[in-house]
Chain A
Amino acid sequence: MTALSTWTILNILVGGIATLAIFSFLIKENSFYRFFEHLYIGIAAGFGIILPIKNFLWPKILEPMMGMDIVQFPDGTYSQEYNPLLLLYVAPILFGLLFYTIYSTRFSWMAKLVIGLLLGASGGMAFEGFFNYVIPQLEGSFKPLIVFDGASIDLMQSFNNALFVFTLLSVMYYFFFSFQLTPGKKISRVLVGVSASGRWLMMVCFGAYFGSTVMARMALLVERLQFLLTDWSAAIYAAAAQLGAHLGVA
């Protein structure tokens, strides 16, 4: 095994302690768990603020705007000329900052300008996105009920397609064309059956969702266990060895 640096060992040790703290909730609610839960939320929130500044606002907007990405070479020349048009970035920045006027009773109308622009832009984009997203699904729903494999019929695929089309129609019927079964009003038994099938088929789908959710939760657990069994135990061993060497214990 490659030698681990002290920093890596510390990182892994803290990771293991945090994992055990979160799992301690399975026994019962406790302050050890609560502390690490807050720590995780805090770190995630911190990431949310710092990364857009570090990766976008500073290197792509502020640095070039202030000419800080221009390097002066030893011969006195510069890596590039300053582009004064970059100062135009100030306009959208100031416009975006109007969002914060929402906290003032007097100036909150200014925030509506930004919100209006965002809503308009999002609406336009959603319109474009909707067609790209939904039309292929509509096309994909039109399936042949009899599928030919050369000269013969592909029975399995034909059954699959027929089941797909039946599911689609029965679920749609359940939602869009269901009528209240009122006494004295005659409703075709076939339609009632189709509607009930739609409900049952949705139940199958929810079952699949629930099963896959259990599977996902277990995958999260197995990854953490793997971490504890391999990385964390190795880090404990390495930490003990480093401590022993530091104290002069053989």
Chain B
Amino acid sequence: MKFSLDAIDRRFVYLLILIALVVPLALEVHLTPAPMKSAKKFFDIIEQVKPEKGKFVLLVFDFGPNSKAENFPQSEVVVEHLLRRRIPFAIYSQYLQAEPLLESIPAGVAARLSKEKPAESWEYGKDWVNLGFRVGGALFIQGLVRSERMAEVLKKDARGNDITSLPLFDGVTSIKSISVLAQFSSLTGTLETILQFFQSSEYRPPLLHGCTSITIPAAYVFMNSGQMSGLLEGVAGAASYSALLYGEYPGREPDRSTLMMTGLGVAHLVVIALVLLGNLAAWLSSRRKV
């Protein structure tokens, strides 16, 4: 059978990509990710937050299985950063498929940190609170930002505890108690809801965002306008953030983001090579026709 560049079976391309991804993963190669300005801005804002009574960081996990690959490592590194710095945070979601992750991500990171530092412990209710999936989207946000007593709007956490009984909410009053707002999502609609409504006439918490690769160009619009103060761009953003965490806490265990990024880097090289090869094949074929 005669081999032709412009008639390569697509399954051969899939196989090449598979090999490119599997080899770094199987060999557990962790290459240092490239530093990213937007991730550094995200990191710096979390670094500037001081653990204060009556203040907390609000995380919004608006992602489910469809974008877990990118949003999960991002949320993991940010949760880790907050837990290490003992900055209390609450998590909620506007997206119902995120519900199981609201519980598993902070619990998993806290368990990992407890293993790393056996003398320290992180407690639910004091270090973090899961507010669960909240229906209503914009209506819920409007109720929250207009309230002078946030606990009255939130009422209970996802575990059924009264919000007022949780130490994290001691001294928490209005939207001004939210020092930073960070949202992780592949859904531009949920980000737009936050951009449109998460502000009162007097205060708008700095907004940080973790997006998937597809929505990077759209997210940059908000970075440019100053509506967003920091951005994690897909797995690359998570890996860059992870590298910054290594700088700050050298003893930490490697996480999945740098491994994923190494695999992705190799696969991107293969894709670039295939694009060049495809163009070469098209050029050769057009020359033959002439």
Query: What residues make up the interface of A, taking CB atoms closer than 8 Å to B?
Result: 26-27, 44, 47-48, 51-52, 55-56, 59-60, 125, 128-130, 132-133, 136-137, 139-141, 164, 205, 208-209, 212-216, 218-226, 229
Taking the nearest CB of chain A, how far is it from the CB of B4, in angstroms?
22
Interface segment, one of B41-49, B78-86, B191-199, B276-284: B191-199
Beyond A219-B213, A222-B263, A224-B69, 6 additional pairs, beta carbon < 8 A: A56-B134, A133-B196, A208-B217, A212-B213, A215-B234, A226-B25
- What 7 A-B pairs have minimum CB-CB distances, sorted nearest first? A129-B196, A223-B69, A140-B225, A216-B213, A215-B213, A51-B96, A212-B213
Q: Once the chains bind, are A209 and B214 in contact (CB under 8 Å)?
A: yes
Taking the nearest CB of chain B, how far is it from the CB of A211, in angstroms?
9
Of B196, B226, B268, the contact of A218 (CB 8 Å cutoff): B268
Q: How far is the CA of A222 from the CA of B257 in the complex (A)?
A: 11
Q: Once the chains bind, are B234 and A216 in contact (CB under 8 Å)?
A: yes
Residues of B within 8 A of A44 (CB): 97
In the complex formed, the residue of A with least CB distance to B156 is A59
Q: Once the chains bind, are B260 and A223 in contact (CB under 8 Å)?
A: yes
Residues of B within 8 A of A224 (CB): 69
- B271 contacts partner chain A, Cβ-Cβ < 8 Å: yes
Q: A52-B96, A60-B155, A215-B268 are in contact. Are A222 and B195 (CB under 8 A)?
A: no
Q: How far is the CA of A60 from the CA of B133 in the complex (A)?
A: 13
Q: Once the chains bind, are A218 and B17 in contact (CB under 8 Å)?
A: yes
Q: Once the chains bind, are A222 and B217 in contact (CB under 8 Å)?
A: no
Q: Once the chains bind, are A226 and B96 in contact (CB under 8 Å)?
A: no
Q: A225-B263, A226-B260 are in contact. Are A139 and B195 (CB under 8 A)?
A: no
Q: How large is the interface on B (under 10, 10 to 19, 20 to 34, 35 or more residues)?
A: 35 or more
List 8 A–B pairs whose Cβ atoms lie within 8 Å, in order of A's numbering. Answer: A26-B14, A55-B134, A141-B225, A212-B213, A212-B217, A218-B264, A226-B263, A229-B26
Q: Which of B191-247 contact A (CB under 8 A)?
A: 192-193, 195-197, 199, 212-217, 221-222, 224-227, 234-235
Q: Once the chains bind, are B260 and A139 in contact (CB under 8 Å)?
A: no
Taking the nearest CB of chain B, how far is it from the CB of A118, in angstroms?
11
Taking the nearest CB of chain B, how far is it from the CB of A136, in angstroms?
5
In the complex formed, the residue of A with least CB distance to B20 is A218
Q: Once the chains bind, are B69 and A225 in contact (CB under 8 Å)?
A: no
Taking the nearest CB of chain A, how far is it from the CB of B159, in angstroms?
11
Q: Once the chains bind, are B133 and A209 in contact (CB under 8 Å)?
A: no
Q: A26-B11, A137-B227, A209-B217 are in contact. Are A222 and B99 (CB under 8 A)?
A: no
Taking the nearest CB of chain A, how far is it from the CB of B95, in angstroms?
10
Of A51, A60, A214, the contact of B99 (CB 8 Å cutoff): A51
Q: How far is the CA of A226 from the CA of B155 in the complex (A)?
A: 39
In the complex formed, the residue of A with least CB distance to B22 is A225
Of B17, B222, B264, the contact of A215 (CB 8 Å cutoff): B264
Residues of A within 8 A of B138 (CB): 125, 129
- B181 contacts partner chain A, Cβ-Cβ < 8 Å: no
Q: How far is the CA of A229 from the CA of B26 in the complex (A)?
A: 7
Taking the nearest CB of chain A, how far is it from the CB of B70, in angstroms?
5
Taking the nearest CB of chain A, how far is it from the CB of B276, in angstroms?
14
Residues of B within 8 A of A130 (CB): 196
Taking the nearest CB of chain B, how far is it from the CB of A25, in angstroms?
11
Q: Once the chains bind, are B214 and A225 in contact (CB under 8 Å)?
A: no
Q: Once the chains bind, are A225 and B96 in contact (CB under 8 Å)?
A: no
Q: How far is the CA of A222 from the CA of B70 in the complex (A)?
A: 10
- B132 contacts partner chain A, Cβ-Cβ < 8 Å: yes
- B110 contacts partner chain A, Cβ-Cβ < 8 Å: no
In the complex formed, the residue of A with least CB distance to B96 is A51
Q: How far is the CA of A26 from the CA of B14 in the complex (A)?
A: 8
Residues of A within 8 A of B187 (CB): none
Taking the nearest CB of chain B, how far is it from the CB of A212, in angstroms?
4
Taking the nearest CB of chain A, how far is it from the CB of B58, in angstroms?
18
Q: A48-B96, A137-B225 are in contact. Are A132 and B196 (CB under 8 A)?
A: yes
Task: Bits for B127-147, please: 1 = Cβ < 8 Å to A, else 0.
Answer: 000001111001000100000
- B267 contacts partner chain A, Cβ-Cβ < 8 Å: yes
Residues of A within 8 A of B99 (CB): 51, 55
Q: How far is the CA of A65 from the CA of B12 in the complex (A)?
A: 61
In the complex formed, the residue of B with least CB distance to A206 is B217
Taking the nearest CB of chain B, how far is it from the CB of A91, in angstroms?
17
Q: Once the chains bind, are B196 and A226 in contact (CB under 8 Å)?
A: no
Q: How far is the CA of A177 from the CA of B195 in the complex (A)?
A: 30
Residues of B within 8 A of A222 (CB): 21, 25, 69, 235, 260, 263-264, 267
Q: Once the chains bind, are A52 and B135 in contact (CB under 8 Å)?
A: yes
- B68 contacts partner chain A, Cβ-Cβ < 8 Å: yes
Residues of A within 8 A of B142 (CB): 125
Q: How far is the CA of A8 from the CA of B255 in the complex (A)?
A: 22
Q: How far is the CA of A216 from the CA of B71 in the complex (A)?
A: 11
Q: How far is the CA of A216 from the CA of B69 in the complex (A)?
A: 9
In the complex formed, the residue of A with least CB distance to B260 is A222
Q: Once the chains bind, are B234 and A219 in contact (CB under 8 Å)?
A: yes
